[in-house]
């Protein structure tokens, strides 16, 4: 195994281990009960499922992802439609985004973070000769985005919809889509997003609350106040693991969306900077693996997009916790309490490892009737 791959997987393991520790700490409340132990046990279960999925994904040859990308995408679309069906999907705080199975849940929009980039990269690779043509180089590669993103925004989930659009845009850029198409797309997308925000009072209020956070501290929303107070309470060295006070019923969503704030309180500035360095190291190691692939190829564009999506989600979470962007409920990959996002993140790590694996390691491809030339 190459040194870069070892480093990449080691950093993933460190972040996952730190996340397990912080989920256990952040799940404690002012009146501890046995219920807090449920968070830890479920998180460990999700981590195990995610690791198993990641290992399996890393062992699959590239041809499997190419052949399976269309079916995976359309399965996700079916789930996105079903979750919006009354009586099928579960509604929480006005959003219909989940399937509930006993004490567990499944969020189809998280699956789209895998299936949509893979399918977009495949469509762009198949239409490579026509990518610079207006009609044949646009509609065939963009239609997956035009189907998936509106369904996610219908839930409603504007943040995830924009995230999927950005990931798809990156996939198209890496596949060699002409710059003029991006300019035309942005000229249509930006007014549409502004119109959606203006027509949704709660989304417009989020933007106003974000601006108030920096203009008038007393008018800032409660969760942002508590997030910044939690970060400041840790100082340089932190209060120590398990010794934070803000998580004790003060900081909302302490073990999910705002677990980074708990890290700031209990591990201090040193811990916060350490987490950021871990992410930078993971991204750099992943890019070294990806840069060995042929530019604009399916595997290059897919691996680059999936890796960047993971790191980008972590960056957005940090930006939300530190009030640098308008508030959006988004978990911190590998650190937040487990669920669909944790399993999807670890699966994405496995796919990146599989797509960047040296061709000589794909001996099992022959068992599937695959020749090495079919992988490119």
Burial of 253 (0-12, 13-18, 19+ CB in 10 A): middle
Mean pLDDT computed over 132-154:
89
The answer to whether 315 and 22 are in contact (CB under 8 A) is no
Burial of 7 (0-12, 13-18, 19+ CB in 10 A): middle
Distance (Å, rounded) from C-alpha 308 to C-alpha 296? 16
Write down the pLDDT at residue 138: 86
Q: What digits encode the pLDDT tens for the residues 324-351?
A: 888 777 899 999 997 899 999 999 999 9
* DSSP letters spanning 100-112: EETTEEE-HHHHH
pTM of the model: 0.91
- Whether residue 73 has pLDDT greater than 90: yes
Write down the pLDDT at residue 124: 94
Angle, vertex CA 329, rays to CA 9 and CA 171, nearest 5: 55
Q: Which DSSP category does 337 fall into?
A: P
The answer to whether 148 and 113 are in contact (CB under 8 A) is no
For 263, 287, 344, the CA distances from 306, given in Å and listed in that order, are 25, 11, 10
Q: Which residue has the higher pLDDT, 191 or 102?
A: 191
Q: What digits encode the pLDDT tens for the residues 183-192?
A: 888 888 888 8
Nearest to 181 by CA among 118, 139, 122, 220: 139
* DSSP letters spanning 15-64: HHHHHHHHHHHHT--SS--THHHHHHHHHHHHHHHHHHHHHHHHHS-HHH
- Whether residue 95 has pLDDT greater than 90: no
Q: What digits encode the pLDDT tens for the residues 224-249?
A: 888 889 999 999 999 998 888 888 87
Q: Hey, how many other C-beta atoms are within 10 angstroms of the C-beta on 10? A: 13
Q: What digits encode the pLDDT tens for the residues 272-327?
A: 999 999 999 999 999 999 999 999 899 999 999 999 999 999 999 999 999 888 87
Q: Which DSSP category does 294 fall into?
A: P
Write down the pLDDT at residue 368: 37
Quote the tokens at residue 199: 């027509």
Return the sign of the alpha-carbon dihedral for residues 108, 114, 116, 118. Answer: negative
Q: Which residue has the higher pLDDT, 122 or 210?
A: 122
Q: What digits encode the pLDDT tens for the residues 162-173?
A: 999 999 999 999
Helix segments in the chain, DSSP class H: 3-26, 35-59, 62-83, 108-126, 139-153, 158-174, 179-199, 201-215, 222-233, 259-290, 298-321, 340-355
């Amino acid at each position: 195994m190459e040194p870069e791959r070892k480093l990449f997987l080691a950093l993933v393991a460190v972040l996952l281990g730190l996340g397990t520790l912080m989920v256990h700490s952040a799940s404690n409340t002012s009146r501890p009960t046995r219920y807090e132990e449920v968070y830890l046990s479920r998180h460990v279960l999700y981590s195990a499922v995610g690791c198993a999925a990641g290992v399996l994904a890393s062992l699959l040859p590239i041809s499997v992802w190419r052949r399976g990308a269309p079916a995976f995408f359309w399965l996700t679309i079916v789930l996105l439609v079903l979750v919006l069906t009354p009586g099928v999907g579960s509604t929480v705080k006005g959003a219909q985004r989940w399937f509930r199975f006993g004490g567990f849940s499944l969020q189809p929009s998280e699956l789209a973070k895998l299936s949509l980039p893979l399918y977009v990269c495949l469509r762009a690779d198949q239409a490579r000769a026509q990518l610079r043509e207006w009609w044949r180089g646009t509609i065939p590669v963009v239609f997956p985005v035009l189907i998936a993103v509106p369904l996610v925004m219908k839930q409603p989930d504007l943040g995830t919809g924009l995230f999927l659009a950005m990931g798809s845009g990156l996939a198209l850029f890496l596949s060699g889509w002409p710059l003029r198409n991006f300019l035309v797309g942005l000229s249509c997308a930006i007014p549409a997003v502004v119109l959606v925000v203006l027509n949704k009072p709660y989304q417009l209020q989020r933007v106003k609350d974000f601006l108030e956070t920096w203009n008038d501290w007393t008018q800032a929303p409660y969760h942002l106040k508590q997030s910044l107070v939690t970060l400041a309470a840790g100082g340089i060295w932190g209060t120590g693991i398990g010794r934070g006070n803000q998580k004790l019923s003060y900081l909302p969503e302490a073990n999910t969306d705002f677990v980074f704030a708990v890290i700031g309180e209990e591990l201090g500035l040193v811990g916060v900077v350490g987490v950021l360095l871990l992410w930078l190291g993971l991204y750099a190691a992943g890019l070294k693996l990806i840069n060995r692939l042929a530019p604009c190829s399916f595997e290059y564009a897919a691996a680059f997009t999936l890796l960047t999506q993971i790191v980008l989600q972590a960056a957005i979470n940090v930006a939300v916790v530190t009030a640098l962007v308008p508030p959006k409920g988004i978990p911190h990959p590998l650190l937040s309490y487990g669920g669909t996002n944790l399993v999807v993140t670890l699966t994405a790590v496995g796919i990146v490892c599989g797509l960047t694996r040296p061709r000589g390691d794909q001996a099992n491809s022959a068992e599937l009737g695959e020749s090495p030339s079919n992988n490119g």
